[in-house]
Amino acid sequence: MCGIVGYIGERSAVGIILEGLKRLEYRGYDSAGVAVLGPGGLQVRRSAGRIKQLEAILREQPVKGSVGLGHTRWATHGRPSEENAHPHTDCSGSLVVVHNGILENYLPIKERLVAEGHTFKSETDTEVLAHLIERHLKESPRLEDAVKKALRELRGSYAIGVVSTGAPDRLVAAKHGAGAVVVGLGAGETVIASDIPAILAHTRDVVVLEDAEVAVVRRDGIELSTLDDQPVQREPTRILWDPIMAEKGGYRHFMLKEIYEQPRAVTDTMRGRVVPESGNVILPDVNLDPAAVREIRRIVLLACGTSYHAALVGRSMLERLAGIPCEVDLGSEFRYRDAVVGPDTLVVALSQSGETADTLGAVKAARAKGTPLLAITNVVGSALSREATGVLYTHAGPEIGVASSKTFTATMTACYLLALYLGRQRGALTAEEGRKRIQELLEIPRLMEATLELDAAVAELARALFHYQNFLYLGRGTHYPIALEGALKLKELSYIHAEGYAAGEMKHGPIALIDEAMPVVALTPRDHTYERMLGNIEEVRARDGKVIAVAHAGDREIAAKADHVIAVPPAVDLLSPILMVIPLQLLAYHMAVRRGCDVDQPRNLAKSVTVE
Ligand code: AGP
């Protein structure tokens, strides 16, 4: 799960590569490097740490040339260090490789190469690929042929870029199973990258590589073929994102910007999909004809992390509105329980990135049993969307902050649309009910705007709370997943220990933790869980716990029972989670800022987790 950028054109490559890498730092940031091919041959500069450190090295030892590759790393094999940073070279230093993914059988191949006289300088799996290509170049002098032969020997996942002094007019890129490789076609120049924001400053016309494809990338375009040498024709796609969408837009952090973008993101998720007059939802890309919809007996939702929490809310939506039994499983666990699924089970995989290896592994296991697969994802053309039989894109726009925010609320909105769609198709919802539910949904962006006005009050609360070391988040029903998400946000951003619990479970164990040093965030919407939540709050207070209630505006009763109340606009219980999570995102954000944490790139995390 690293970021790759490559450039070939007339301009100096290094600046373009560095700028691109900065936009990909969310993919990994423990070390970085560049290699540029110029009059002086291949010049490689690498550094442990972030791209800023690499830039300092480049100021002292500049490189020149108009062909090059860069990489920002998240370590899988070998600790983060200069030696393990990419690009990696072959023995002669005339070829470099950058790689995202894991080469599973690198060790036996490395042993063989060492026996043949190759010398290795790093602990990485990637370096094996550089030496393997070097070896194949002896019999297959065309770089792309040698790359293909090397890749055919390797098992695992990869997105790679290769440059060689023997082929100064091209880069070679390939991918299989790892993160994306996007090729941007400019005027007299071509840029490759792991994600679109790294390319947008140069061109909007992109070609996305599929699995087991290899691209020969030249200044004036690309040639695509499969690993087994079949030519591939693919028209470029025009990307309509405004480059400013991928910038901070005046906010101090990407995450804050993304929290504020939520009303827009949720609106975009609904855009063109709801018909208020008929109470219907139009989702052509889910690719389920009416007969297939009627045949669904069960839904299994698969996801990880924040997307898993969205799936838990989605389950309530689907069961209530579509009347279909639902289960939710973690992508990382599904394969280990021999789940009974089949053609009448609709598997719905939720993943912001569409590249999460655990979720992809789970859906492959499900697909092997003949299930249809619907992907809910934010990334068009992602691995998950390609694996799926139908897609529901969230259209939330690029999310750069490593901790998800706008994609969480957009994913819950997508689940709601799906639930309405299935409910209407199966006759579980009348047209009148459909109209009412759509009206309630259409109100949500405005209510989200109102909820964001709590920002200053939440920042003030963060000032009072940021020195605590442990937090408990409690919720019931549709707000239990919001308790989980609130706790996850706090852990990720501020490194404070936090637990999310189903409030009813507190008495079964966690109550032992409660004392004056344990603030408890209690999600207390005025719904059918309200009385029981009040009971839980009393239990906390009786043990000297500090209570922060996230409640519905206008609730007078709660003010007498909690130390702090965050009053969120009321909404029906299936949609209230979309509002209630916002103050929890803001609380985690402000606590992290107070504690001096790196909000956009928390330690040890990466945006797309492309390893299992
Ligand atoms: C969210 O804040 C996390 N960083 C993480 O849990 C994330 O949601 C998880 O890795 C799943 O990612 P995905 O949605 O891209 O599959």
DSSP string, 13-59: HHHHHHHHHHHTGGG--SEEEEEEEETTEEEEEEEES-HHHHHHHHH
Say whether 561 is catalytic: no
C-alpha 398 – ligand 1 centre gap (Å): 14
Q: What is d(CA 464, CA 565) in angstroms, rounded to the nearest whole number? A: 13
Q: Please check the confidence at residue 13 and state whether its pLDDT lies above 70.
A: yes
Say whether 2 is catalytic: yes
C-alpha 42 – ligand 1 centre gap (Å): 37
Atom of ligand 1 nearest to the CA of 356: 16
C-alpha 179 – ligand 1 centre gap (Å): 14
Quick one: pLDDT at residue 243? 62
Q: How confident is the model at residue 250 (pLDDT cuts 50, 70, 90)?
A: low
Q: CA nearest 534: which of 513, 570, 515, 560?
A: 560
Residues in the chain: 612
> Which residues does 13 contact at the CB level (< 8 Å), separation at least 6?
7, 36, 65, 66, 67, 68
> Which residues does 569 contact at the CB level (< 8 Å), separation at least 6?
447, 450, 451, 552, 553, 579
Local structure of residue 513 (DSSP, 8 states) = G
Q: Please check the confidence at residue 31 and state whether its pLDDT lies above 80.
A: yes
Ligand 1 neighbours, Cβ below 6 Å, are 304-307, 351-353, 356, 359, 402-404, 492, 605, 608-609
Q: Please check the confidence at residue 47 and state whether its pLDDT lies above 60.
A: yes
Quick one: pLDDT at residue 126? 95
Atom of ligand 1 nearest to the CA of 605: 4
- Over residues 341-358, the mean pLDDT reads 95
Q: What is d(CA 104, CA 243) in angstroms, rounded to the nearest whole number? A: 37
By most ligand atoms within 8 Å of CB, the mutation choice from 26, 328, 333, 356 for ligand 1 is 356
Local structure of residue 286 (DSSP, 8 states) = G
Q: CA nearest 412: which of 488, 484, 310, 269?
A: 310
For the segment 385-437, what is each residue's pLDDT rounded down to a tens digit? 989 999 999 988 878 899 999 999 999 999 999 999 999 999 999 999 999 99
The number of C-alpha atoms within 13 Å of 586 and in the hemisphere containing its C-beta is 25
- Is it true that the peptide bond before 87 is cis, omega within 30 degrees of 0? yes
For the segment 165-189, what is each residue's pLDDT rounded down to a tens digit? 999 999 999 999 766 899 999 999 9
Nearest residue (by CA) to ligand 1, atom 2, is 403
Q: How confident is the model at residue 157 (pLDDT cuts 50, 70, 90)?
A: confident
Check if the beta carbon of residue 525 is closer than 8 Å to that of residue 477.
Answer: no
- Over residues 567-572, the mean pLDDT reads 97
- Over residues 23-37, the mean pLDDT reads 88
- Over residues 514-543, the mean pLDDT reads 95
